[in-house]
Structures are given as C-alpha cells and as structure tokens.
Chains A and B, each alone.
Chain A
C-alpha cells in the first residue's frame, strides 16, 4: 500500500509542502464526503479496513500477513467515532502547517499539540498513534510523509556491516558497525530508508536478532559475532518500525538470513511474529516491515525441557496470551501450535539468560551452535 519507499527518486525534486499536499490528497476527498453527508442530512461516516486479528490475511506473493478486506465504519453516531473524524481534520490542518514551516514533529509532540484542538484533544498517546495509522491506511502513505516520526529509539547493531549514513547536517558518513562504533554498537535512527542509510558491504553470514540487551552484550563479549560471522541486532523488546524495516533491508539487499532469539514466553512469540509475519496494527505496512524468511531460534518451549532451563510459572495473563495466540492466524502452523500447546501443558516460561545456569560461555559455545546447526545456518 505505502508507496513512498518505492519511489524515493521523485522526492528530491519536490518541495516539502507539495509532498505533504499530495500525501494528504485523500483527506480532501474525505472532507468532501463528510461535507456532502452533512449537507444531505446523513450521519457522517467513513470506512476503513479493520486492523484486527480477524482481519489479516496471508499474501502468498509477498509472504507476509497483510490487512484483509473487512471494513469497519467510523461513524459520528457514536462519540468516539465523531471525535476521530473531527481529529482527522485537525490533524490534516496541523500537517499542512508543519509543511509550510518546514518542521517535523514526534508522535509525542503531536499528542501535546492536540491540547489546542478543544473537543478534538487526544486523551492518550494511543489515540493519536491510532489516528496516524488510520491516516497511513487512508492515504496509503507512511507517517514520515506526514512529517510525523517516533522519538529516536536507538536499537543497536553490532557486527561487520559497512553502511553510509546521511546525518542531520546532510553529511554522508561511512560507518562499520564493528570497527567504527563503541561498545553500544551502531544506533539505528528512526529513518532507515535508502536516502538516509545506504548499505555498502558486510562480512556477516547471518543476522541474529536478540530481544534483550544483556544477551547482546554476552554475545559481543564472547566474540560470537566475529567467531561465527554474525550480525547482532538488538530488538529492545517489541521492535520499532525502524528496526523491523532495517532487518528487512539487510535480509533483502544483503541476502542475510535472519534468526530471532528471544525469551521463551508468550510475548516473545509475538515479537517474532511481528518481525517475520507482520504486526496486526501495522498490517497495512507488512510488505515493508516483515521479513518472511526470518526463523525463530528460541528459547522454544521444547528448549526449556531439552536444556532443562530454570523456569517460572506461567501467570494468568501469560496463559490468556497463549490462548489468544492459538486463535491468531499467524500462529496456525503445526510447529507453532505444538510449541504453544507444549508451553500451556508444562505451564513454564524461561528467560534467554537462564542459559547462564551452565556458565557464561554456554550460550555461545553450546546452545547457539547447536541450534544454528539444526537450522542449517552454521
């Protein structure tokens, strides 16, 4: 749906204002539609694809889960719907203003900007984020086209990857993510598109995307990246769009396989799903953000048993999350069902770092080599 990244070349020739104006074209149509409805005595309403678990569908061609065809109606009959319609037009105004002034805004700033929108004021940042995603869907654009971006999130990359980043001042810098950075690695900016980051070369054979910072440090300290020619990417819990987009670019442009290494709990399965299959809330962007070939390395429920890892009891919330996953279309493979059911049966979850039970080198010398060999990566 979103076209922006596919036509980066048109960008430089246009003024910022006209880019925004073009991006917002569909909102004008919406205004027209709402106006006509009001003038004809009809209750204003618009239709949008539902971004729910029930409305994602697997796209064979791209190998990702995308939005399905089910539409929901946003109607002014109810207060929530009426407010969201009203806010849409406040937001359109605000984007226009930013374009004229050559500014951009963080998502959080937008939330505070809405203080001046009287009735339209957002009550939580969730509301403003949802509306921006709605606008992305409506206009088939990315939020950056609306001059809106998240705060820098700084997910980091460690390993032999050379790229060229154009910094805030417009200066292009060549960076090797192992030799030119400190212990923290290379911090990803929110924008990882081609005009910002050019991928040059790599000596890595695969990417290992890791949930927790502690585990990234362990692998780096043990020299795992150099020993096995791996690129370490820190997911920082649920990965930001930029992290997922960056993984996808590495996968596609550098032909690097991606494995995902997380805790062994129901939430980590969702982290993997958003990397590999696409997230439900951003299903309209799945073809940009999802890496269908990514594989789940562990910790799997079977690993907890096979490696006899120290574990915690599943909480009620964990159990509900697992049961929800059983009805999640993205987990409807025999392997996933078996693992989820195994976890429910054993009632156990474990952290990545529980591997330290067998010593600090165990994860790099035994666990990962075994698993990676099994997966055919090593």
Chain B
C-alpha cells in the first residue's frame, strides 16, 4: 500500500502556485480584454489614466497623444505619449511588466489607477495576441537621454523580462511613451477610444489630448483650463473604513513602540480624547506593544474604533473638478453642438461613507443639436475616469432613473427610468475608495450615502433646468406678442387705413395695451475673438399703458463681482452676494432704459448666471425678470412703491371674460364637408 500514493498525495502533486499573470492570462475578460474592440479601449484607457496620474502628481499640465495605426490585419499599433515626469530606468520593467505593482495602491488619496494592474495587463495582452514586446521610451528631467526598453512579462513568475534596451536622444525634456502591438479593432461610436478621450477631455480641461486614428484623422481636444487641479493630499487611513486584517498588518508593520502611538499617529480622526475612550472600551492601557494585539483583543479594539465618535475623514484627499472647470470642460468639448443652456454645475460638499470621503459633482447641458427624442446622454465618471460600460448596473444611472424628471421639464414615462430630451447629464463621483461593482471598474455599486448625494446634486442641477425651461417658455409667449405688435398690427393698420381712406394712426397706445408688460431683455455680447471682456446688456422696455418707476436688481456669481465698467452707477450693491441694483428714471409707455455691465473675459459669465429682478411692477406685468424675492432685505425707494400702487389702482379690472373665438374649437369637426 505504501507505494500507492494517497489521494491527498496525488492532489498535492498537482497543486502549485498559480502566478497572478497566469491567472489573468486565462481570465482576461476580467480586466476588459475579452474582444478586440474592448481590448483596444482598455489599452488606451490604461495608458491615458497612467499618463494623467503621472502628470498630476508632478504638477505638470498634461499633453497626451494617442496614436493608433493599422499594422496587418486585426493588428493595431497603439502609442500613448505623455509629458509626465518620466520613469527611472530601474522602475520601468516593474511598472509596465509586473502585475500588482504600483505606487498608488497604498496611498490613501483619490487617483485614477490604483491596483497597478492596468497597463501591465495591456502589455500582457499585447504579448499574448502578437507575441511582440512592449516598447517603452521614458526620460526624466535629470537625464540627458531617454531610456528605451522592450519588455515582456514572465507569466510564470510574474516578473518582467527585458528583451532589449537602448538610449535615445529625445526632443522633449521629460515624458513617457508606451508602444504596444496588439490584436484589436478600431471604430468610433459608443464605448470607443474616441468617446473615452472625449469624455476624459470634458473632466480634465487642464489636459490637451490628441488622438490620431488609423485612417490618419487627427482629433485635438485643446486645453481649456490654464492650471492643473490641486494635487489631492495623501491622508492617514480612517478607522471607520478599516478591516480587521488591515488593522492587524498596521500593528505588525509599525515601528512605533505602543498601541496608543500607532492609533494616534497612523490613523486619521483619533483625537486624544477619542483615543482615551477607544483604549478604555478595548480594555487597553495604551502602553502595550503593537504586535502583542491579536485574536479577540484585536476584534475588541476594532469594534471600539468603530463605535467611538472620531473626527470625520478629511476631504483633502479628494480632488473635485469644481463648477468652473466642469463648465469649461463641457463648453470646450460640446461647444460644436451649440447647447442652449449650460446649467451652473453642482459640486456637493464632501461626505463620508465608511472611512472614506467622497463627493459628487453634476453638470447638465440642454438643447442645441442634442437629439430631442432620445433618452438623455449620461456621462458617468469615477475619479475623473469615464465609465463607458455597465450603465444599467451603475448607482449613477439608478439615481438618475429614480428622480422624477417630469417635474423639471423632461419627458419620462411613468416618472422613472432614464428621461428623454435634448439633454446631457454629467455625474462625477470622487473618492479615495470608490465601491465598484466589479474589478473591471465599470460601474459604481449601490450605496445609500452615495445615492443620496447624487440625487441631491441632480436635483440642484435639475432646478436650474426647470428655471431655464420656464424662462424659455415665457420668452416664447413674449415672442408671439412681439409678432403681433411688430409684424401683424402695422399691416392691419395699413390695410384698414387704406380701406377707410384715412392716415395710419399711432399704434403706441395699442401696442402697450396688447403687451401690457415691463420687458427686461438681457443679452450677452461676448467679446470678439481675442477680446478680453464680455458685456451683459439689459434693456428695460415699458410696454404698459402707464408710466413706471422701476427698480432693477441683478444677481451674479459673487466671483464675477464687480463688473467694470457699469454704464449706470448702481444705487446699491452687496458685493459678497454678487448683487447690485438701480432705481431707473421714470419710463413713459413705450420708453426704454439700458444698462450695460462689462466683465473680464476670464469670469466666463453667462446670461444664465445673471438673475434679474424687478420691483415697481407685479409679476403678471413682468417679462424676462422675476419680482424681487422677499429675502433680499433691500429697501425699495418710496417713489417706486408709490408708482406701482398708482399703476395697480389705475389698471383696468383684469382680462376680459369673453370667449376667445379663435380658441373655441368645434367638436363637430367631422360633421363638415
């Protein structure tokens, strides 16, 4: 019997370590290399994410170029170039040809890539499909020449294999180029490299991105913001998000002498007072050696850390895009479809889930050449990385679908599901740890905290949309009236005068009767190209049959305050709220007044961002502005109030109650010949 190996022995003979690389070779779909289209996108994405992260860390404004060239059938050569800090020679093999090697996994801050799998997986895929090594060119500023390294991955040992190396005199001070030959397929459209880079350009307006497509077409997304976003700070891990194993390894790896010191210095949010309470609950003095804590004691300690109130995690580790840059990014990339409306972007304050801070940002664009009868376009981003797959499974999609958009002026069947309309919605979730539904990082998992924040941000943006749409519909109503007074009435006067043989009468009194509104008409005169200013012009016309004394109020983003010059000096202002106001001279029927405000071009002011309010006329007789809200606490001059009261008293008793002949529709339409 002794000669016959036992089953366990037989199995043991087959059991051996599976290298990570080998594992991924067999399961490449997990990382997004399951078909030639997808493989190309993933390769471009990993290359570009790395390039952006590298530039950001070095405080460099990114210049990224992606060249895709056909080479034989079903084979593409992909080259991603950046102007980042470059990579030291000795690190090149590990960065590009060793899975799970990276600088950011252990850093507790927001970044695009994290696990250090991506680019190596692309190198691996390239080698698997074309048996060709990756070519890396990288130059750091301190070196005279660039390093050129050709690499493969030893899938057995998860180690890089250098095929060749060389030096190259490069035309740039620093940067990296990754070149891969892989089995792949290029096309534009949804989930394509084009789409990915376009979306990337929207949320990274500080980057200049160039794409050269296989047919030679060169697409450039120019830089739209002059400065890089601040580098997110690296912060200590917060105990609220801690797992037992992590706590154990921290305690084991530390060089600090006591538990108390480790807790106070290596974790965030643990104040001296909280420390005392944690130690008390865990039954520790604090003087214990860190590596003496294990077993039940470890669990008690973790429980204490989780239950004692600590300072919330710091949001300094996050890098929001910010309202201004979201707007610039959207404008820069979507400018050619000429949207009617860019909602002021919403950037929510940071919140915490588990031990990790996160924040949500939303941008919304309406009209222009966006298709009016299709579901809205939803652009999802996690830490500034576009999410192109798994839209249906994503928490962002669900938050959008669960909001009743009908209240905000979009069509939506039954008040749930993706709404339809000429609208594009951008949602960015930033966090030191984003809960993805899978390792492929294609969709954000459901989480009540994140969902709530997304919903609040969407609602805020949607309210702007509703306001825009209601203003637009009022403008349309006004344009009907303008048609009447400007185009129809003069002809009617001509025709009837000719028929009765009398001179054409003065139409002003009729015009003011028909309009019966004070019309506030703002227009933004963008400076000519190269000009340095933007002018907002407001025209106020008294289209009512009586004289008016009016007070005009303006509210603009406080950042844009004060405009200079202002054509009429204001009678009051409140700089910190971005408000100013004027008492206008008495306007007789048909008379007009105008105020022009000039802003520096850098303030990027929009007509939508300046709100107009009017006192001295009631809402029913006001067009293009709203009545002054009650919470402004501004004293309206006596003359304005008196004039308004006079006008109200003299006004005829409302609309005539007669039946509108042209509005009454016969139900017997089919009765007719």
Which chain A residues have a beta carbon within 8 Å of chain B's beta carbons?
28, 31-32, 34-35, 37-44, 47-48, 50-53, 70-86, 89-90, 92-93, 118-120, 150, 153, 238-241, 244, 267, 270, 273-274, 279-282, 321, 324, 328
Contacts and interface: CB of A to CB of B under 8 A. Distances in A.
Interface in B329-364: none
B371 to A, nearest CB: 26
Nearest to A277: B671
B142 interface: no
A34 B661 contact: no
A83 B671 contact: no
Contact of B495 (A39, A47, A76, A90): A90
A43 B495 contact: no
A244 B672 CA distance: 11
B329 to A, nearest CB: 41
Given A50-B664, A78-B662, A274 B671 contact: yes
A119 B495 contact: no
A79 B668 contact: no
Given A43-B513, A76-B484, A240-B673, A270 B668 contact: yes
B660 interface: yes
Nearest to A33: B496
Given A38-B507, A41-B509, A74-B662, A280 B499 contact: no
B514 A76 contact: yes
B243 to A, nearest CB: 60
B492 A44 contact: yes
Contacts of A279: 668, 671-673
A31 B507 CA distance: 16
B487 A267 contact: no
Contacts of A119: 487-488, 491
Contacts of B484: 76-79, 82
Given A38-B493, A83-B488, A274-B671, A44 B510 contact: yes
B513 A72 contact: no
A37 B496 CA distance: 11
B489 interface: yes
B35 interface: no
21 contacts: A32-B496, A35-B505, A38-B510, A41-B510, A42-B510, A50-B661, A52-B666, A76-B484, A76-B488, A78-B484, A82-B489, A92-B499, A118-B491, A119-B491, A150-B673, A244-B673, A279-B668, A280-B671, A281-B669, A281-B672, A321-B670
Contacts of B662: 72, 74, 78, 80-81, 84
Contact of B661 (A31, A39, A72): A72
B673 A238 contact: yes
Contacts of B668: 53, 270, 279-281, 328
The 10 A-B residue pairs with the shortest CB-CB distance in the complex, in nearest-first order? A41-B509, A72-B661, A280-B668, A31-B499, A89-B495, A279-B671, A39-B505, A73-B658, A80-B662, A35-B496
Chain B at the A interface: mostly helix, strand, loop or mixed? helix
Interface of B: 480-481, 483-484, 487-489, 491-493, 495-497, 499-500, 502, 505, 507-510, 513-514, 545, 656, 658-673
B491 A31 contact: no
Contacts of A52: 664-667
Contacts of B656: 73, 75
A38 B670 contact: no
Contacts, number: 155
A38 B492 contact: yes
A89 B496 contact: yes
A73 B659 contact: yes
A48 B502 CA distance: 26
Nearest to B673: A240
B653 to A, nearest CB: 15
A81 B661 contact: yes
Given A31-B499, A82-B488, A53 B509 contact: no
A72 B659 contact: yes
Contacts of A280: 666-668, 671
A73 B145 CA distance: 88
A50 B670 CA distance: 17
Given A28-B499, A53-B668, A73-B660, 18 more contacts: A32-B499, A35-B499, A38-B493, A38-B496, A44-B492, A70-B659, A72-B658, A76-B514, A78-B660, A79-B484, A80-B663, A85-B492, A239-B673, A279-B671, A281-B669, A281-B671, A321-B670, A324-B667
B670 A238 contact: yes
Nearest to A266: B670
Given A39-B505, A82-B489, A53 B500 contact: no
A315 to B, nearest CB: 14
A244 B673 CA distance: 10
Contacts of B489: 38, 76, 82
A270 B500 contact: no
Contacts of B491: 86, 118-120
Contacts of A241: 673
Contact of B510 (A43, A244, A267): A43
Contacts of A81: 660-662
A241 B671 CA distance: 11
Contacts of A274: 671-672
Given A35-B500, A38-B505, A79-B488, A50 B672 contact: no
Contacts of B495: 31, 86, 89-90, 93
Contact of B488 (A86, A153, A328): A86
A50 B509 CA distance: 29
B499 A41 contact: no
Contacts of B499: 28, 31-32, 35, 89, 92
A37 B505 CA distance: 10
Contacts of A28: 499-500
A72 B665 CA distance: 11
Contacts of B666: 51-53, 280-281
B586 to A, nearest CB: 20
Contacts of B492: 34, 38, 44, 76, 82, 85-86, 89
A236 to B, nearest CB: 10
Nearest to B497: A35
A244 B505 CA distance: 46
A142 B491 CA distance: 27
Contact of B500 (A32, A72, A80): A32
Contacts of A85: 492
Contact of B672 (A41, A86, A238): A238
A81 B480 CA distance: 12
A99 B136 CA distance: 90
B660 A72 contact: yes
Contact of A73 (B487, B545, B661): B661
Contacts of A76: 484, 488-489, 492, 510, 514
Nearest to A32: B500
**B489, B495, B507 pick with most chain A CB within 10 angstroms:** B495
A92 to B, nearest CB: 8
**A52, A118, A273 pick with most chain B CB within 10 angstroms:** A52
Contact of A273 (B497, B514, B671): B671
Contacts of A39: 502, 505
Contacts of B671: 238, 270, 273-274, 279-281
A83 B489 CA distance: 9
B493 to A, nearest CB: 5
Contacts of B481: 79
A234 B256 CA distance: 107
A368 B423 CA distance: 63
A119 B660 CA distance: 21
Contacts of A90: 495
A82 B492 CA distance: 8
Nearest to B657: A73
Contacts of A89: 492, 495-496, 499
A92 B498 CA distance: 12
A44 B656 CA distance: 13
Nearest to B483: A79
Contacts of A240: 673
A282 B510 CA distance: 34
